[in-house]
A and B are shown apart, each in its own frame.
Chain A
Amino acid sequence: MAVKAKHQRLLLAVLAASALLAAGLIAASALREEVSYFYTPSSLARDKPAPGKAIRIGGLVQPGSITRGADGVSIRFVVQDRDASLNVRYTGITPDLFVEGSGVVADGRLAANGIFIADSLLAKHDENYVPRELADIDMKTGQQSKDSLVR
């Protein structure tokens, strides 16, 4: 079976197209399962995701809310924005600039009792390095500003 040149190019084009298609399909199905949505305490109050689903939350650490657990490595605190607040639990070393009143973004999931179990925390680093999700939240009032500031 000799392969004609024209057929070979066609075959290669078909192979390339099917690779693209495969990538698209695999990506779409994995995305559907693994994407995590970003919530603020108020948007979470309006529209609660299912417990156990991976999500990301962000807001301000409520002053006076950080309490340390008896084991010395787990903490509880409250993340708030203007209208709502959310209890968060985290076990691990807190990021360097994690302090009361500062902005924080956390990856994790809601527990059945409504507490957010954080797997990782991302704190506002400095003026030049704000977590993307917090860039348009006013750091003083916890209000989401309408006009996006830094972008």
Chain B
Amino acid sequence: MAEFGLAALWLAASMALLQMVSGLAALTAGENGKGGILADLVIPAAAAQGALCAAAFASLIYLFLVTDLSVLLVANNSHLDKPMIFKLAGTWGNHEGSMLLWVTILAISGAAIALFEKRLDRETLRATLTVQAVLALGFFAFLLFTSNPFARLFPVPQAGAGLNPLLQDIGLAFHPPTLYFGYVGLSVAFSFAVAALLTGKIGPAFARAMRPWVLLAWIFLTLGITAGSYWAYYELGWGGYWFWDPVENASLMPWLAATALLHSVGVLAVRDALRAWTVMLALIAFAMSMAGTFLVRSGILTSVHAFAVDPGRGAFILALLLIYVGGSFLLFALRIASVTQGKTFRLFSREGAIVGNNILLSTILGIVLIGTLYPILAEALGDKISVGPPYFNKAAVPIALLMMLLLIFGPMLRWRKDDGIGLQRLLLLPIVAAISGMVIAAVIKPDAGVFVIITLGLSSGLAVGAFLPLFGRKLTRTPLTIWGMVTAHFGLAIAAAGMASEAGYSSERLAAMDVGDVERIAGWRVKLNNVEPVVGENWTALEGQMIAGRGNDVSEMRPQSRNFVSPETQTTEAALLTRWDGQLYAVIAPAGEGSIKPWQVRLWWKPWVTFIWLGGVIIALGGALALLGRMLRGVKFRRPGPVDERFAA
């Protein structure tokens, strides 16, 4: 089976080569030239590449499911005693497997474009597939020459080494593939952008072809970040949901760029403005996902994500990054002068607001990028430093607040130019909401912090303001795309409110406890009833049995201190009690020798903390509604005349 997978991978790589060569033939032949049979092979080659990659990945899944220990990758990362779902997740819970997943998603997206994209002219479509092939070839070379997932191992070991226990979690089954769909979606947007630079056809048709991919990428990135944040929150047992860890930043940066791109590609599709701007953002978004992959996969950073500690691999990804990003930026510089400027607009208009959104997002992106790369650069120069949450909070939060302010009224501006008259009437509602939000936040806890209070005010304003674009519309006839926008903006207000509440209103209690002791926190009474050993499929643990009560509400909590057998590791498993107004979070650990009491218990009450992830899911839902709206319209207007501009958001 391993040999079958390897053969499929080689064949897929050769299909990518064929796709690139024939695509180049088509490109040089130009719009009118036929380019012969060779040029017509682009689309079949893309389809074949997708199918072969899927076959290769399927065979790796099979090898992991049956735990074929004669395969090096399986032996190193799996174990006979591992639960089935983690055997499956183990397929991509390692460097080689995750890169194969990446290239598989890339190839399948290429096949999807080849087979289903009907809006683009033939020339740009072929150019897009050519760029896709060039991207895929780089990753095929990376896999086949430095990270062969199908390498055999001799002699065959007895049991296998196991998977990092931190990663033995249901969240892992979905977190990496979700992010990869996002990264790869951005690579498709990149291919469109480079193709449009090559053919010079940058306009609404190009934007409409690119938009669903950006939307798809953005939905997956949003979900991936939300899931990763929740995973860190309950799995690490530190009570935090975001640590500004470089690996987290690696997923946040493409998201910021994708968010900017999503908004500007809409302007290009509807108004034919922001041509060069949109192409540039597409290049940056892909550069960020490549940089993210490089940071995470190169071993420059040490974390649960860094599987590869092999300088050769890091250098390879860095080389790919430089070639693709450098090449595309060079192409941009050479070609952009020949792209004519799109339609113009006044700054006080919907376009202007979106430019503002883009600029603020780019500024945050720049701040995160600098904070992430600076320690690496400094280390290369011999200084060991770290940049932590204080930097990111101080530099990025004020700009994010500015963005929320803009978001309250931006979506209500008219295209091209706005006289501001309509705004005055409508804005009263969000302003009242924002001020009352701030007053309530300050009254509840005056020392919650000025940023916390402002954020809660802006969230209240946005929670109301997000719905204003529906004002004056017949709700039943409002297009899904508008609903999507409204939903996503509302989700942002919810998430921001959750973050502010967590930052300003959490309570924390750290105590040494004996069985029978009681601790109090934020109206809760937590009693440690007992501590007992428990056994799981591949771990043993000490489990605290706690009774947490507030009024009539009495529930049990069972945090664990867990020991894994293979590889030998300890983790703390937090216990969470979710209520409508927040979460009670408990962690237990043995106190160690010489302590007065045998157990250390850490308790948090985090009001409204669930809003953070709820907001993330609502944002993604908004994206899904918009995507659905686009797809439905695509069906309705199959091969239409010019798409009706009034409907487009």
Minimum CB–CB distance from B601 to chain A (whole Å) comes to 8
Number of A-B residue pairs having CB atoms within 8 Å of each other in the complex = 154
Minimum CB–CB distance from A63 to chain B (whole Å) comes to 13
Q: Kindly identify, within residues 359 to 412 of chain B, every residue whose CB is under 8 Å from any CB belonging to chain A.
A: 359-360, 362-367, 370-371, 374, 383-388, 390-391, 394-395, 399
We find that the number of chain B residues with CB closer than 8 angstroms to chain A is 62
B511 to A73, Cβ gap below 8 A? yes
Residue numbers in A under 8 Å from B374 (CB-CB): 31, 35
- Assembled-state Cα–Cα distance A63/B474 (Å): 74
Minimum CB–CB distance from B160 to chain A (whole Å) comes to 15
A24-B370, A96-B571, A130-B302 given as contacts; is B511 within 8 A of A38 (CB)?
A: no
A30-B395, A91-B510, A93-B600 given as contacts; is B370 within 8 A of A12 (CB)?
A: no
One of A6, A56, A72 near B341 (C-beta < 8 A): A6
- Assembled-state Cα–Cα distance A92/B276 (Å): 53
Residue A111, interface by CB 8 Å: no
A23 to B570, Cβ gap below 8 A? no
Q: Kindly identify, within residues 16 to 57 of chain A, every residue whose CB is under 8 Å from any CB belonging to chain B.
A: 16, 19-20, 22-24, 26-27, 30-31, 33-38, 54, 56
Residue B591, interface by CB 8 Å: yes
B366 to A27, Cβ gap below 8 A? yes
One of B385, B569, B593 near A35 (C-beta < 8 A): B385
B394 to A19, Cβ gap below 8 A? no
Contact string against B for A residues 75-99, beta-carbon threshold 8 Å, 1 for contact and 0 otherwise: 1000000000000000111101100
A36-B385, A73-B512 given as contacts; is B589 within 8 A of A94 (CB)?
A: yes
Minimum CB–CB distance from A35 to chain B (whole Å) comes to 5
Residue numbers in A under 8 Å from B309 (CB-CB): 128, 150-151
- Assembled-state Cα–Cα distance A53/B299 (Å): 29
A93 to B602, Cβ gap below 8 A? yes
Residue numbers in A under 8 Å from B394 (CB-CB): 30, 33-34
Residue of B nearest to A134 (CB): B302
The number of chain A residues touching the other chain, given as a range, is 35 or more
A96 to B341, Cβ gap below 8 A? no
Residue A68, interface by CB 8 Å: yes
B592 to A66, Cβ gap below 8 A? yes
A128-B164, A132-B301 given as contacts; is B510 within 8 A of A73 (CB)?
A: yes
Minimum CB–CB distance from A102 to chain B (whole Å) comes to 12
Residue numbers in B under 8 Å from A128 (CB-CB): 164, 309
Residue numbers in B under 8 Å from A31 (CB-CB): 370-371, 374, 387, 391
Residue of A nearest to B360 (CB): A19
One of B341, B391, B569 near A8 (C-beta < 8 A): B341
B395 to A132, Cβ gap below 8 A? no
A38 to B384, Cβ gap below 8 A? yes
One of B299, B355, B371 near A15 (C-beta < 8 A): B355
Residue A4, interface by CB 8 Å: yes
- Assembled-state Cα–Cα distance A129/B247 (Å): 15
Residue A126, interface by CB 8 Å: yes
Residue numbers in A under 8 Å from B340 (CB-CB): 5
- Assembled-state Cα–Cα distance A150/B568 (Å): 21
Residue numbers in B under 8 Å from A97 (CB-CB): 569-570
Residue B552, interface by CB 8 Å: no
A54 to B512, Cβ gap below 8 A? no
A26-B367, A94-B592 given as contacts; is B384 within 8 A of A4 (CB)?
A: no
Residue of B nearest to A105 (CB): B386
A96 to B572, Cβ gap below 8 A? yes
A34-B387, A54-B390 given as contacts; is B302 within 8 A of A129 (CB)?
A: yes
Residue A67, interface by CB 8 Å: yes
B386 to A38, Cβ gap below 8 A? yes
Q: Kindly identify, within residues 286 to 307 of chain B, every residue whose CB is under 8 Å from any CB belonging to chain A.
A: 299, 301-304
Residue numbers in B under 8 Å from A68 (CB-CB): 591-596
Residue of A nearest to B399 (CB): A26
Q: Kindly identify, within residues 98 to 130 of chain A, every residue whose CB is under 8 Å from any CB belonging to chain B.
A: 107, 125-126, 128-130
Minimum CB–CB distance from B311 to chain A (whole Å) comes to 7
- Assembled-state Cα–Cα distance A151/B311 (Å): 7
Minimum CB–CB distance from B383 to chain A (whole Å) comes to 7
B512 to A71, Cβ gap below 8 A? yes
B341 to A70, Cβ gap below 8 A? no
A22-B363, A73-B511 given as contacts; is B370 within 8 A of A37 (CB)?
A: no
Residue B550, interface by CB 8 Å: no
Q: Kindly identify, within residues 528 to 581 of chain B, every residue whose CB is under 8 Å from any CB belonging to chain A.
A: 561, 567-572
23 cross-chain CB contacts under 8 A: A3-B345, A12-B276, A19-B366, A24-B370, A34-B390, A35-B391, A36-B387, A37-B384, A72-B512, A73-B511, A73-B512, A73-B591, A93-B587, A93-B602, A96-B571, A96-B589, A107-B388, A125-B569, A129-B164, A129-B302, A130-B302, A133-B384, A151-B311
**A interface residues, Cβ below 8 angstroms from B:** 2-6, 8-9, 12, 15-16, 19-20, 22-24, 26-27, 30-31, 33-38, 54, 56, 66-68, 70-73, 75, 91-94, 96-97, 107, 125-126, 128-133, 135, 150-151
User: Closest 5 A-B residue pairs measured CB to CB?
Assistant: A72-B512, A23-B366, A38-B384, A96-B570, A5-B341
